[in-house]
Every structure is written in C-alpha cells, then in structure tokens.
C-alpha cells in the first residue's frame, strides 16, 4: 500500500532549508551585524548555502539533531554507567552515603519519559499520556497476483478517498512495515509413517533457517483535546473526566468501524485485548512494545 500523505511529514522549507533553522541562523547573523559590524551580513548567504547542503542529506536532519540533543541523558547518570543510560525504574530523592559520591537514584533518566502509551480504555483502544486515542490494524495484504491492475488502483483510490474524508478532523495516520523471522509448516499427520518422517525432516531443517516476512500495520490516532481543552480539563471533577473519556471512546469506535470496513480488503486484523488460558493479553500493546524493543512478546493486562 502506498504511503499516505507522506508530504505532510516534510518540514516547511524555504530555498531548500527548513524554516526554523533558517530563521534562527539568519536572525542571529542579522542581529550580530546590527550590533557588531554590518560585514557580518555577508555571511548570511554562506550560512544559507551550508544549511542547504546539510539539508540535502535528509529533510529531517535538523529534527534528528534536536532529537539527539534531547536524548543526551543525565551527565551524572551517564558518568556512573560509563555510557548514555536510560533506565526503567523511577526513584525519589534518597540520601544514602554510598551513593553520594557516585550518583543519586532520582537522577536517573527513565524510559517512561519517552514512552507515550498509557493503558487500554476499550478493547481495541489505547490512550496515551497526552490524551490521544490510538487503534492499530495488522494488514496481511491483497493477493495481487490474482487481481487486475485496475482493481488494485481502484482499491488504493478508495482508501485514499477515505483518508481525505477525515481532513480537518483531529486525527492522524501512521503506517509501519515490520520485517521479522517466522516459521511455517504443516503439522497434520498423513497416516503414512514414511511420509510423516520425510515431512518432519523437511520442516525440521526449516527451523534453522526461518523465513523472512514483512507485515504492514496501520494506526489511527485521535486527539480530541487541544491545548485550551486540556487546561479546562484540569478544573473538572473525576466524574466529568470519565464522561469525557466515554464520549471520546464512542467517537473513536465509530471511526474504527469505518476504517475496519475499508481495510477489510487487505485482510486486516484489529489489534486489541484477547483471552488465553483464562488470562487477558493485548496484541496492541505487544505491537507497541515491538516498536520500542524490537522483540515480539505477549503483554498481559487486567480484565477491568
């Protein structure tokens, strides 16, 4: 499936340079020329040229530099571990003599700060710490070998039209292509002992060299509250906040039903909570955990 609205992720640019770094650099040189020497203004075209050369490597290169700056961590914590460290535990300030000369546990940089997901608010909806509502589908794809090019183009156009119909609404879309190893085999016994031995040997050899496959995931993000609404929400009671969540969940489920019908052509599976051996797990949180860690594992959740 073609990438949807890829251009929307591209930063605003002028003369081939992102607007923000261009404004900062040009503004700094202009002010320096005003207060020091007007000759400094001659450096503005040179600076723009250098910024343009840097941007040619990647349109988002300055965003990546800013992200790298944000991920520097805590100097005390990094010095203690001898590397840039982000730890899972969160500690309050403590006064223990053995840590005074090295570090305090409350100075750790925890991973929770960079994980936006919070918890399930419905079977197929996860709420983030910022108040966003997220739903994800796993797409197995279309058997394109048996479908005409005209039909593929029609299906692609229908999905693009559906996405455009949500323009102006506080929603966003993400798609991920995850490549992972997998093993596939027939486990049914034929009843012929010799044939079963040959089959077991054949599939047993495949376990050493597993298949590689790409799986597509489509994510819908709904952000109902803007900055003003979030400020007003702080004044609301717990009951009013719960009522707001129920309203947003209902609206999110309506959008999920709309997209599920449109994505059904791609053999889609809506991720969410499921029960196994009397225990409740979440395939949705398992996928988000895979995005963070690169490992597929079951994530257990409460059934409430």
Contact criterion met (CB below 8 Å) for 210 and 182: yes
194 located within any domain: yes
Cα distance between residue 290 and residue 201, in whole Å: 32
Query: What is the domain extent for residue 43?
Result: 1-68
Record the pTM. Answer: 0.60
**Do 15 and 92 reside in the same domain of the chain?**
no
Tell me if 241 is assigned to some domain: yes
Point out the domain boundary residue: 85, 114, 143: 114
Q: Are residues 270 and 123 in the same domain?
A: yes
Contact predicate 1/266, CB 8 Å? yes
The whole-angstrom separation of Cα 167 and Cα 150 is: 26
* 166, part of any domain: yes
Residue 244 lies in a domain: yes
Q: Are residues 210 and 289 in the same domain?
A: yes
Give the C-alpha separation, 11 to 276, whole Å: 44
Mark whether 82 and 59 lie in a shared domain.
Answer: no
d(CA 132, CA 229): 13
Tens of pLDDT, residues 229-242 = 777 877 888 888 88
Is 299 inside any structural domain? no
Last residue of a domain, one of 98, 114, 130: 114
Encode pLDDT of 125-157 as tens digits: 999 888 899 999 998 877 777 778 888 888 888
Specify whether 213 is located in the same domain as 110. no
Q: 112-121, 181-190, 248-257, 266-275: which has the minimum mean pLDDT?
A: 181-190
Q: Are residues 4 and 147 in the same domain?
A: no
Domain termination residue (choose one: 87, 114, 141): 114
Together in a domain, 87 and 122: no
137 pairs with which residues across the strands? 218, 270
Q: Could you tell me if 82 and 46 lie in one domain?
A: no
Residue 302 covered by a domain: no
Same domain, 159 and 172: yes
Instruction: Indicate if 181 and 255 belong to the same structural domain.
Output: yes
CB atoms within 10 A of CB 131: 18
Backbone angles phi, psi at 126, to 5 degrees: -115, 135
The number of domains in the chain is 3
Write down the pLDDT at residue 231: 77
Same domain, yes or no: 27 and 155: no
Are 155 and 77 members of one domain? no
| pLDDT confidence tier of residue 221, bands split at 50, 70 and 90 | very high
Within-domain flag for 212: yes
* Least confident stretch, 207-216, 217-226, 255-264, 265-274: 207-216
In a domain, 270, yes or no: yes
């Amino acid at each position: 499936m073609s990438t949807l609205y890829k251009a929307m992720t591209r930063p605003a640019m002028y003369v081939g340079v992102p607007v923000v770094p261009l404004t900062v650099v040009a503004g700094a040189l202009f002010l320096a020329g005003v207060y020091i020497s007007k000759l400094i203004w001659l450096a503005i075209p040179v600076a723009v040229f250098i910024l343009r050369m840097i941007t040619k490597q990647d349109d988002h290169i300055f965003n990546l530099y800013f992200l790298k700056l944000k991920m520097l961590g805590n100097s005390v914590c990094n010095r203690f571990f001898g590397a840039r460290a982000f730890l899972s535990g969160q500690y309050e300030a403590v006064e223990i003599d053995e840590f005074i000369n090295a570090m305090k546990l409350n100075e750790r940089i925890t991973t929770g700060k960079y994980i936006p997901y919070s918890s399930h608010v419905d079977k197929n909806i996860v709420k983030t710490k910022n108040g966003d509502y997220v739903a994800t589908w796993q797409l197995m794809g279309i058997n394109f070998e048996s479908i005409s090019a005209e039909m593929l183009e029609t299906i692609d156009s229908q999905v693009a039209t559906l996405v455009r119909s949500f323009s102006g609404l506080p929603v966003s879309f993400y798609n991920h292509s995850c490549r992972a190893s997998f093993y596939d085999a027939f486990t049914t016994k034929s009843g012929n002992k010799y044939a079963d031995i040959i089959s077991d040997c054949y599939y047993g050899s495949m376990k050493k060299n597993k298949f590689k496959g790409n799986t597509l995931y489509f994510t819908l993000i709904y952000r109902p509250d803007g900055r003003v609404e979030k400020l007003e929400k702080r004044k609301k009671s717990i009951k009013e906040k719960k009522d707001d969540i129920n309203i947003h969940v209902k609206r999110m489920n309506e959008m999920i039903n709309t997209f599920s019908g449109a994505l059904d052509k791609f053999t889609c599976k809506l991720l969410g909570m499921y029960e196994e051996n009397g225990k409740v797990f979440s395939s949705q949180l398992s996928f988000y955990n895979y995005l963070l860690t690169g490992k597929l594992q079951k994530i257990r959740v409460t059934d409430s």
